[in-house]
């Protein structure tokens, strides 16, 4: 006989079948999963949200992911590359607003010049903040020695989404060539762990060709890889990309949204002490999308601190929120938003992954 949602949630360990069943629950079942995840979050990481001020440094990218609005071949994307001074000003704003950490994100570029530029910026960020700001970087696939150089320069967390842990699906989302190799992506994630980063990954949810089984496998992939952080969000089609052609295969956008909340809550249940980000893409679908994710397990939010004039150009998907705002607008707005969730804001704290602390303690 099939187990009820309550029975499934009572178990210590969820099987693949359990997760697949929970991903497909109706409203009543879903709410039970959400409540259970909220309790685990409160027990293991506390009802607290940490800020990562996000600087979208540049939308210049050397890759051609089929889903992404800033892919190399999209000639409609207006390219920008923010000056170091503007980046440091944005970082200073985050520091002065007591955000605790920043994230540097850009399209994927790999060159000695870029490596040096980032190293210099990382050192400058540490300097301007008296070593107080935590730094996450999200700069794609790089050789291990580059990861090491950046780690030594001051970055201590790295985000690199696997996008999908199913290689067949991965190659429906990326060209099958050396530049978009699934195994390379895995090697990069391993290098990041080896160098000593708090390592984050994540997937897109509601992709064409993606099954519930794929999503369950993604969650187990993250568990087996022993990741410290996760950022995952709904897939939102972009008309200037090749994947747009398969839009008729998509589930309605509201369902992709709900499925993302289910993934967040299930990941919280499976990996109790990791950091989970409330993806900005959720806000593109629902005006209080990120807050809903915080309610069901997420504990990290990335307020955008990119100078306003560039925000509209970093368009990975349509309807990106906060593109008409300046950083200061988001600060006030965000404080009110988190207030609604009932969580506290970890002002001035790094809010490192508790999972990472445990993982490295065991090793030493």
- Answer yes or no whether residue 281 interacts with ligand 5AD by CB under 6 A: yes
- Answer yes or no whether residue 317 interacts with ligand 5AD by CB under 6 A: yes
Closest to ligand FES by CB, 192 vs 322, is 322
The partner in contact with residue 322, picked from ligand FES, ligand SF4, ligand 5AD, none with C-beta cut-offs of 5 to 8 angstroms by kind, is ligand FES
Closest distance to ligand 5AD from the beta carbon of 304 (Å): 13
Name which position in 56, 163, 228, 352 contacts ligand 5AD (CB under 6 A).
163
Residues near 167 by Cβ (< 8 Å), separated by ≥ 6?
A: 182
Closest to ligand SF4 by CB, 142 vs 341, is 142
User: How buried is 78 (Cβ within 10 angstroms: 0-12 exposed, 13-18 middle, 19+ buried)?
Assistant: exposed
- Answer yes or no whether residue 333 interacts with ligand FES by CB under 6 A: yes
Closest distance to ligand 5AD from the beta carbon of 280 (Å): 9
Interaction site with ligand SF4 (CB under 6 A): 61, 63, 65, 68, 70-71, 107-108, 140, 316
Residues near 287 by Cβ (< 8 Å), separated by ≥ 6?
A: none
Closest distance to ligand 5AD from the beta carbon of 203 (Å): 7
Closest CA to 203 of 96, 276, 284, 116: 276
- Answer yes or no whether residue 162 interacts with ligand 5AD by CB under 6 A: no
The C-alpha atoms of residue 72 and residue 66 are separated, in whole angstroms, by: 10
Task: Tell which positions 288-327 bind ligand FES, by CB under 6 A.
Answer: 322, 325
Closest to ligand FES by CB, 74 vs 306, is 306
- Residue 56 β-bridge partners: 105
Buried b (16+ CB within 10 A) or exposed e, 200-235: bbbbbbbbbebeeebbbbbbebbeebebbbbbbbbb
Task: Say if residues 295 and 340 touch (Cβ distance below 8 Å).
Answer: no
Residue 268 is encoded by which pair of tokens?
A: 């919280």
Q: Report the Cα 20 to chain-centroid distance in Å.
A: 22
The partner in contact with residue 70, picked from ligand FES, ligand SF4, ligand 5AD, none with C-beta cut-offs of 5 to 8 angstroms by kind, is ligand SF4
- Answer yes or no whether residue 334 interacts with ligand FES by CB under 6 A: yes
The partner in contact with residue 333, picked from ligand FES, ligand SF4, ligand 5AD, none with C-beta cut-offs of 5 to 8 angstroms by kind, is ligand FES
- Answer yes or no whether residue 68 interacts with ligand 5AD by CB under 6 A: yes
Residue 136 is encoded by which pair of tokens?
A: 């996450």
The partner in contact with residue 161, picked from ligand SF4, ligand 5AD, ligand FES, none with C-beta cut-offs of 5 to 8 angstroms by kind, is ligand 5AD
Name which position in 184, 329, 342, 347 contacts ligand FES (CB under 6 A).
329
Closest to ligand FES by CB, 155 vs 334, is 334
Instruction: Name the site residues for ligand FES (rule: CB under 6 A).
Output: 322, 325, 329-330, 333-334
Instruction: Name the site residues for ligand 5AD (rule: CB under 6 A).
Output: 67-68, 161, 163, 204, 233, 235-236, 238, 281, 316-317
């Amino acid at each position: 006989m099939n187990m009820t949602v309550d029975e499934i949630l009572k178990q210590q360990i969820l099987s693949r079948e359990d997760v697949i069943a929970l991903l497909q629950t109706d409203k009543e079942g879903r709410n039970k999963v959400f409540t259970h995840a909220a309790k685990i979050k409160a027990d293991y990481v506390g009802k607290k949200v940490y800020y990562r001020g996000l600087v979208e440094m540049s939308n210049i990218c050397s890759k051609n992911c089929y889903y992404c609005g800033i892919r190399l071949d999209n000639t409609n994307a207006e390219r920008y590359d923010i000056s170091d001074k503007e980046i440091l000003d944005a970082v200073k704003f985050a520091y002065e607003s007591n955000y605790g950490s920043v994230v540097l994100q850009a399209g994927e570029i790999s060159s000695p010049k870029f490596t040096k530029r980032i190293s210099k910026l990382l050192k400058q960020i540490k300097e301007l903040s008296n070593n107080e700001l935590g730094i996450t970087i999200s700069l794609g696939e790089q050789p291990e020695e580059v990861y090491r150089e950046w780690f030594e320069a001051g970055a201590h967390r790295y985000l690199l989404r696997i996008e999908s842990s199913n290689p067949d699906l991965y190659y429906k989302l990326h060209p099958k060539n050396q530049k978009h190799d699934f195994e390379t992506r895995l090697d990069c994630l391993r290098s990041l762990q080896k160098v000593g980063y708090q390592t984050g990954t994540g997937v897109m949810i509601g992709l064409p060709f993606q099954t519930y089984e794929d999503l369950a496998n993604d969650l187990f992939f993250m568990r087996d890889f022993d990741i410290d952080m996760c950022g995952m969000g709904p897939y939102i089609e972009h008309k200037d990309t090749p994947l747009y052609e398969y839009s008729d295969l998509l589930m309605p956008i509201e369902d992709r949204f709900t499925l993302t909340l289910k993934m967040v809550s299930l990941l919280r249940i499976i990996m109790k002490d990791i950091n989970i980000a409330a993806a900005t893409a959720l806000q593109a679908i629902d005006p209080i999308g990120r807050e809903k994710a915080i309610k069901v397990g997420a504990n990290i939010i990335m307020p955008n601190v990119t100078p306003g004039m560039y925000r509209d150009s970093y368009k990975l998907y349509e309807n990106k929120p906060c593109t008409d705002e300046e950083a200061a607008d988001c600060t006030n707005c965000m404080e009110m938003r988190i207030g609604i969730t009932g969580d506290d804001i970890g002002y001035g704290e790094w809010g490192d992954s508790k999972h990472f602390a445990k993982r490295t303690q065991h090793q030493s």
